[in-house]
Amino acid sequence: MAKIHLIIPAAGTGSRIGNSIPKQFSSIGSKTIIEWIDFIFSNVSSIDSISIAVSPKEHYIENIRHRFSSKTTVYKSGGSTRSATVLNTLNQIKKNVDKSDWIMIHDAARLGINESMVNNFISEIGSHKVGGIMAIPVVDTVKRVDKSGVIIGTENRNEIWLAQTPQMFRYKLLKQAIEKFNGFPTDECEAVESLGKKPKIFLGSPNNFKVTYPEDMEHIKVVFNPDSKGKK
């Protein structure tokens, strides 16, 4: 039976949030964001291993005296792009992973998720031949604009979804997709799509947003309840 291995790309600097430390190492309650994410996913029994990928020059992770699960290994496999970080980590873990195993990717600063959501995601996406992603439908009208900011069209919002994580694909497919992609995919799904594959959508949650700007830190403190994590 195929195993599931989680990769958390955590090599970004989080410069847009304006903090002196990367956002994934910011604290909420008794843990940093990256520790909470590790805690939530480590409680999912079907996840066999967790790989946290940080920059080779990373020092915050030592300074916070991190407490990660027994499933978790920290790799200094961060690259210049997200896709490079994921690919480097795939190469790091290849000796312990079968080519048909599932690789799940989750953002290091996307905290609005719980164990129940992850289990439901695995149940649905794990039965799909390609794999898939968590996402939410667009509710606002979507405009297409040119480089000067002039509106040139209105998109059919019924066909537009906002991609989130986790995203999950087979090891062999994901590695091939990233290696063959011309340029830098914005997420793993785009790389897989470039091979002509059609991943599946799993309905996510608006609370599963990525902490990016200063106001996001305040928002996540409102929607994230540390006392409930791991109990759902």
pLDDT in tens, 156-165: 999 999 999 9
Range from 28-32, 82-86, 87-91, 151-155 carrying the lowest mean pLDDT: 28-32
Fold of 4-228: Spore Coat Polysaccharide Biosynthesis Protein SpsA; Chain A (3.90.550)
Average pLDDT score over residue span 2-18: 79
Q: Which pLDDT band, with edges at 50, 70 and 90, does 110 fall under?
A: very high
Helix (H, G, I), strand (E, B) or coil at 28: strand
What is the full DSSP assignment across 85-113?
HHHHHHHHHGGGS-TTSEEEE--TT----
Query: What pLDDT is attached to residue 232?
Result: 40
Amino acid letter, residue 177 = A
Q: Which pLDDT band, with edges at 50, 70 and 90, does 223 fall under?
A: confident
Q: Residue 92: phi, psi to the nearest 5?
A: -65, -35
Distance between CA 169 and CA 164 in Å, rounded?
A: 14
Distance between CA 205 and CA 114 in Å, rounded?
A: 11
Comparing 82 with 216, which gets the higher pLDDT?
82
- Report the relative pairing of strands 151-154 and 143-145 from DSSP bridges: antiparallel
Q: Which pLDDT band, with edges at 50, 70 and 90, does 18 fall under?
A: very low
User: Over pLDDT 90: what percentage of the chain?
Assistant: 74
Amino acid letter, residue 195 = L
Helix (H, G, I), strand (E, B) or coil at 217: helix
Helix (H, G, I), strand (E, B) or coil at 177: helix
Amino acid letter, residue 200 = K
Helices marked H in 24-170: 33-42, 60-63, 82-93, 115-125
